[in-house]
Amino acid sequence: MIGRNSFARISGRDSVKLGALLFACLLWVAGPQVEAQDGQQVPNAPSSSQSNSSGGGAAGAQEPGVANPSPSSLRLPNLLHDVRPGEGAVPGPTSSSAGTSTGADRPATPPAQTQAAPSNVPPPVIPAQGQGPSVATYTLRTRVNFVLVPVTVTDSHGALIPGLTYHDFQIYEDGVQQRLTFFTEDPFPLSVAFVIDQNLPADTMKQVNEALSAFQGAFAPYDEVSVYTYATHVNQATGFTGAQSDRLTATLDRVKSPGRYMEVPTDTGPLAEGPMINGQMVDPNTSPLGQGNFVGILPKESYVLNDAILRAATDLSQRGRGRRKIIYVISDGKNQGSTASFREVVRYLLTNQIAVDGTLVGESALPVYGFLDRFHIPWQMADNLLPKYTQATGGVLDAEVSRNAIEASFARVAGQVRNQYTLGYNSHISTLDSRFRKIEVRVLLPNVTVLAKQGYYPTATANQ
C-alpha cells in the first residue's frame, strides 16, 4: 500500500509537468500565426482627448467607421519641418475630430516651409508696374567730409593777432554757416616745396642767391623741405629732407644761377637777324621781329611757373596727412610757355589742401610796376600769377627788391604759416557733389585781415 500510493503521487506530478510542456508546445506552434494576424491589423493609438475622456479604461477601443492605417503612417513627424520654436508641431492638412489622420489624406511629401524675413531688414524698393527703376526711391547714407581750414589773422599793421578762441570765428560754406567741430592754434610740422625761378634778370638773381643762405633759418628741425628750379623746364634739385640738414645746405649752394642777361635790340647790322650758319639761326631762343625793321631781335623768354607749381604739388600730395603742405615760391610771378593752365593747377592745389606762399622779386615787386604787371597786356609778357595763387589758396606773399628784405621775408612768411589758426567742420553737402565749394571765414573783431583759402574741391581723401 505504501509503495502503490507513492507511485500514484509521482504519476500525478509528472502528469502536471507533461501538461505544461504540451501547453508550451501549443503556444510555440501558434506564435507565427498570431504575429501574421497582428501584422495585418494594428489598432489605432488613442488620442489625448480619448485617453482623458475614457479615463484609461478603453485603451484598445477604435472609433467606428475609421479604417486602420498602415504601419508607415505611425512614424514620427519630421521635426525639422513640422516644429517651430515657440509654436510646437505644425498640424497636418487634415485631421479627424479625435486628432488622427488617415494615410489617404496625408500628402506624400511635407509642404515647403517659408522663413519670415528678419524684422530689421527693410523691404526692397519695388517700383510700380510700367514705371521702371528710374522712378524708384533709394535711401543713401554717406559720410560727411571733414574740412580743415588754416586761417591767418593780422591787424592793420600786418602783425599776427594771438589769443583768439573759436568764439571769435565764423565759417561759411556756399553762404551757409557751419558749426565748428575742431579748433586749434598749435603749430603743425611743415612740408615745404621750395620753388626758385632761375630765369630772373642777372641783378635780381644775384640778390636771390645771396639770400638763399637765410632760408633754412626760417624753419624748424622737424620741418622737411624739397627744392625745385625752373626756367624753360622744371628740375627737382633734391627730394624732401630735413630743414636743418647739410643736404639742404649743399643743395641751396648748387642751385645758384647767374640769371638772364638782357640783350640790346638793334635793327641794323648782322645782329638784326641773329647769328646764321648756312641760312639757319644758331640760337633757337632768338627770332627776328619785323625782319629787322623795328625792334630788331628779342629773346624768346619762357617762364613755366604753372608747371613748376604743379610738379611740386604732385610730390607734396604724397606726404603725410598730419603735416601742413606749403609751396614756397621765389619769383617775379610771370608765366609763359607752361603746359598746365592756371585753373588746372589751382584745382589740384585746393583738392589736396596745399597753400602757395612766396616772395615776389624783381620788377613785379615794385609798387607801381608790380601792380600793372598783374594785368595782361597784348604782345607783352604774361601777367603776374603769383598773387593769384596765394589769394586762391590762402597763402602769404611778400614783395621785396633788396637782399636784406628777401631774407627777412623768409622768416616773416614762415612765421605766419606756422602760427595759423586751424578750423575744422563737417560739410553739410554730400561728398557725391564734387563741385567747387566756396569758403568764407569771418573774425568778430574790427580792423583785421583774414587770410584763408577761397574754397575747396571735395574728394574721397577728404573724408575722415
What is the per-residue DSSP string for 155-213?
-TTS-B-----GGGEEEEETTEEE-EEEEE-----EEEEEEEE--SBHHHHHHHHHHGG
pLDDT recorded at residue 133: 43
Q: What is the pLDDT of residue 135?
A: 46
Distance in angstroms (rounded) separating the CA atoms of residues 390 and 410: 15
Q: Determine the average pLDDT of the residues in 337-349.
A: 94
pLDDT value of position 326: 96
- Residues 351-369: tens digit of each pLDDT: 999 999 999 998 878 765 4
Region 108-136: mean pLDDT is 49
> In whole angstroms, what is the distance from residue 444 CA to residue 199 CA?
44
DSSP letter string over 376-393? --TTSPPPB-HHHHHHHH
Q: Say yes or no to pLDDT of 462 above 80.
A: no
Per the structure block, which three cell numbers stand in for 448?
A: 583785421
The helix-helix angle for 202-211 and 403-418 (nearest 10°) equals 50
Helix (H) or strand (E) holding 424: strand 421-426
Query: Is this prediction's pTM over 0.75?
Result: no
Beta-carbon-side half-sphere exposure of residue 181 (alpha carbons within 13 Å): 11
Question: Domains in the chain and their CATH numbers?
Answer: 142-187+419-464 (2.60.40), 189-259+303-417 (3.40.50.410), 261-300 (no CATH)
Bridge partners (DSSP) listed for residue 153:
450
Q: What stretches of 314-414 adopt beta strand conformation (E)?
A: 324-331, 354-360, 397-399
Binned at pLDDT 50, 70 and 90, residue 48 comes out as very low
Outline where 212-304 has alpha helix (H). 246-254
Q: How confident is the model at residue 131 (pLDDT cuts 50, 70, 90)?
A: very low
Condensed to tens digits (0 to 9), the pLDDT of residues 230-251 reads 998 999 999 999 999 999 999 9
pLDDT at 301 over 90: no
Q: Fill in the DSSP letter of residue 79.
A: H
